[in-house]
Structure 1
Amino acid sequence: MTGWHAGDDLVARYTDGTLPEPDAWSLEKHLEGCGSCAARASRAARAGAAGPVLARVRAAVLDSVPHPARSPLPTPPLGPPAVSTSTVPWRARAAGGRLGRIVWAAGPALRGAWTGALLLVAVGALALAYGGGSAGARPLLLAVAPVVPVAGVALSYGRYADPLYELVATSPSGGLRLLLTRTAAVLAVSMPLLTASGLLLPAAGPRLPQVPMAAAWLLPGLALTLATLALSGYTGCRTGSAVVGGGWLLALTAPVLASDGPGPTATGSGLTDRLAQQLSLYFTGAPAQWGWAAGAALCALLLAARRTAYDRLETM
């Protein structure tokens, strides 16, 4: 510990949540080892707008704690211990509890309806191809796959998606770092599952990328996800996800519906063929993939440049 102490203005900005995220982390590290600054921060928090709320929470917590005179500790039962106290079941329960906590912290999307929708897309494409005999399952999957992570981001962050929003909003680490952590969890689940489903689908025709090009949507999906995060700094996660996802679907389906090329235009097979052609334009070839990579890099640079815009969850 050094002789430096936080100034009153720094402490006040920390307690009211206006201190930038890197400075707040640095001050929190100092408060861990400086009792006088920690006491001043505590007094500033009690004197601020959140003081009455903190007082009520503290009183409620103290009232809920059983008093030793009212609730004595239970007497341990006599006799030999039960057989169920074996170390193997205990270790299994501990591992399961740890995994559950990791899934819970990863984000609301992984424990909500989005996971079911992800499985429905993957399994539904396989059922459509092998159960329904449809040759358009691969184009449909590749068309939807890039926006599946975008929907997961929308359901992973913000006041309307996160049941722990109030707790996270009071933490300086609840900004861009949490947003990136939950986005990484969404990508880690969706990308392998959708890519594996694409690899298992039969080829739809020479105009659609073949195996291993079933993974050609990965860079577009990453670019759209990063674009959603970059736009969320201005509009919020839900609006940013809607704009990016809707823009992708519009850019993909508008040329397909407006096409007047040859073929059975009124039938589903004709629409599938034109969808395959449009996907080939967006996904196939080095220029297309390099374009998506450049877009992803630009969005990442914008995220880094505007990282302080994510310090406050109220804007998300």
Structure 2
Amino acid sequence: MSWHITDDLMDAYLSGGLDPARAMSVDAHLGGCPDCRAAVPYEEDWLRDSWQRLEAEVLSPRPSPMERLLRTCGVPQHMARLLTATPTMSGAWVAGVVAALTFAVLAARESATFLPMFLAVAPILPLAGIALAYGPRVDPVHEMLAATPLSGARLLLIRATGTLAVAVVLAAGASPLLPAPAWLSAAWLMPSLATTSCCLLLSSRLPVPVSALTTGGLWLLGVAAVGGATGDLLAAFGLAAQIGYGCAALLMSLRLYSKVTA
């Protein structure tokens, strides 16, 4: 070897203060120079710290953009990672929600008679997400999470809340594009809360996908039945109905809370 590592350079290397290029150069030199390699102290503390730094750099997953956004908004790190690991937070589900809302908005703008379609579809979008948010068949980390204190109803509730929030934000962004008054454009919100609460409550007795399918089917049948009986497809979204949805959502949410905290 024509040169050897100086003391200052060795100290910077051992403390982890070198930039990647210089650190790789020192590594390469140490591999071929027994004299410099002998100068590296074999201390258990230093070796353990080096491996810990390496493990943290290699094994720790990098936070996704969504996880960083949630943490910026004040969500705890473990909760942000749990929410972003939800299968329904994937791009495919979000793209499906956007596509459904886009179709409903375009149909409503083409003809006001299609406005009830948007109001009926928006509340069942969170149900589709909830059906894919929890369970061994849809969640790749289900078995791992099943051994944690957050497993079961609490995990489902957390993930369902995240799914509902995404669906509500997307639907709220589409609502102003509807050819309708502001109050009518937002008439889907209370039904969304009510159907989501009903789905979560049923999931304590039925599989989550079955609960979501049952709730969604009953909602669509109810809208069609009210519309057929009154001759007005918007009758299911009037003031009296909104009060009923709000009361039902509140009662079911309280029941859910008692089950989770029991």
TM-score of the superposed pair, with normalisation by structure 2: 0.65
TM alignment of 1:244-259, pairs within 5 A: 244-254=215-225, 256=227
Matched, 1:227 2:198: yes
Query: How far 1:218 sits from its partner (Å)?
Result: 0.7
Query: How far 1:231 sits from its partner (Å)?
Result: 0.4
The one of 263, 272, 278 equivalent to 2:233 is 278
| 2:150 counterpart residue number | 173
2:193 and 2:249 in contact (8 A); partners too: yes
1:141 and 1:198 in contact (8 A); partners too: no
Q: Label 1:97 to 1:288 Cα distance change in 2 as closer, same or farther (>3 A).
A: closer
Query: How far 1:178 sits from its partner (Å)?
Result: 1.7
Bigger relative contact order, structure 1 or 2 (CA pairs below 8 A, ≥6 apart): 1
**Residue segments in structure 2 that go unaligned for 5+ positions in a row:** 1-21, 27-61, 70-76
The one of 68, 81, 89 equivalent to 1:99 is 68
Identity of matched residues, %: 35
2:97 and 2:167 in contact (8 A); partners too: yes
After superposition, the CA RMSD in angstroms is 2.9
| 1:207 counterpart residue number | none
Aligned to 1:233, the other structure's residue is in SS state: coil
TM-score of the superposed pair, with normalisation by structure 1: 0.55
| 1:56 counterpart residue number | none
Q: Label 1:196 to 1:136 Cα distance change in 2 as closer, same or farther (>3 A).
A: farther
Hey, what's the Cα distance between the residues in 1 that align with 2:196 and 2:65?
Answer: 30
Residues 194-251 of structure 1, C-alpha deviations (whole Å, 9 max, x = no match): 1221221113xxxxxx323211111111011001000000012111111101111112
| 1:217 counterpart residue number | 188
Q: Label 1:298 to 1:255 Cα distance change in 2 as closer, same or farther (>3 A).
A: closer
TM alignment of 1:275-314, pairs within 5 A: 277-279=232-234, 281-285=235-239, 287-307=240-260
| 1:243 counterpart residue number | 214
Count of aligned residue pairs for this structure pair: 196
Hey, what's the Cα distance between the residues in 2 that align with 1:242 and 1:282?
Answer: 20
**Residue segments in structure 1 that go unaligned for 5+ positions in a row:** 1-74, 80-92, 204-209, 262-273, 310-316
| 1:199 counterpart residue number | 176
